[in-house]
Amino acid sequence: MLKDSARHRRIGIGLVTLTTLCFALLDTTAKWLVLSLPVLQVVWLRFLTHSLFSLAIFSPSMGLDLVRWRQPRLQLLRGIMLAVMTALNFWALQYLQLAQTSAMQFSVPILIAVLSVWWLGEHLDARRWIAIAVGFAGVLIIIRPGSHAFHPAILLSLGNAIIYALFNLLTRHLASSEHPATMQLASAMVSTAVLTPFALWTWQTPSSGWQWLMLSVAGLSGGAGHYFAAQAHRFASAAVLGPFLYQQILYMTLGGWLVFDQVPDHAVVLGAAVVVASGLYLLWREFQGAPAAH
């Protein structure tokens, strides 16, 4: 059940911080893997290892409760959404820097705020709508449509961000009735099943122990990240948690520099700063007690 006290909000923020660390590790390992292995194979193996790790960790204590879905249709939808958005993200990582894909993820909290009005019936005041408009301007700075710096793969990241925003809202809805361990396993199992024929069609056997290790790291970090995210939504609203996703840019930029010797250019930094400022303003308004959501 979603809780609204200040203490529960702090717990939710702590959990979403762990989520960003896990997802930064996932994307860093994924970018390394897709440079030598087919994208759909990497996505499939990421979810397969995620599923196996989750079964090994949670089944001893939860038993059959781990695979009991209270809302099976929504769990199936959530799993399909996860498979699609992960494939889009890994595909984009073949061509873009980690900082670029992460910067595009910054639009997720803004998209969540917009979609919350339509889906959850929440109310946003005029100042929040201005902050949202500024945030989308920051996204355009990152994308740079029509310029020589524009890369079509950025549209894959944009598609991933839109689906991820919907995915977060669906997670919030399911968190009131489903156990977090069940949710993250269900999404991984559905994604594995959906992607199996595509992965087998493009199969290329990993040739080194490092590849197998990184596939295991991707599966474990992905599973942990989704578990922490599901737990976070039990303690705080999407509007509260969303802005804290921004810290992932720090971890992603560090990973890009350490592993790939890549540093984001000025436009990515400027655009990310604009979007972060927008999100932080939304967060400040939330904690000032202004009527953001009813």
Q: What is the pLDDT along the chain (294 residues), one digit of tens a residue?
A: 444 577 788 888 899 999 989 999 999 999 999 999 999 999 999 999 889 988 988 889 888 888 888 888 999 999 999 999 999 999 999 998 888 888 787 777 778 777 777 766 667 777 788 888 888 888 888 877 766 667 888 889 889 988 988 888 888 788 778 888 888 889 999 999 999 999 999 899 888 889 999 988 998 898 888 788 878 877 887 667 767 777 888 888 888 888 888 877 788 888 888 887 887 777 676 666 544 333
Q: Give the model's pLDDT for residue 98.
A: 86
Query: How far is the CA of 93 from the CAs of 33, 34, 79, in angstroms?
Result: 10, 8, 21
- The Cα–Cα gap between 153 and 90 comes to 10
Q: What is the pTM of this model?
A: 0.79
Residue type, 235: F
Q: Are 119 and 169 in contact (CB under 8 A)?
A: yes
Q: Give the model's pLDDT for residue 120.
A: 63
CB neighbours of residue 269 within 10 Å: 17
- The Cα–Cα gap between 44 and 219 comes to 10
Q: Give the model's pLDDT for residue 195.
A: 95
- Which strand (E) or helix (H) includes residue 113? helix 107-119
Burial class (CB in 10 A: 0-12, 13-18, 19+), 209: exposed
Q: Give the model's pLDDT for residue 239.
A: 67
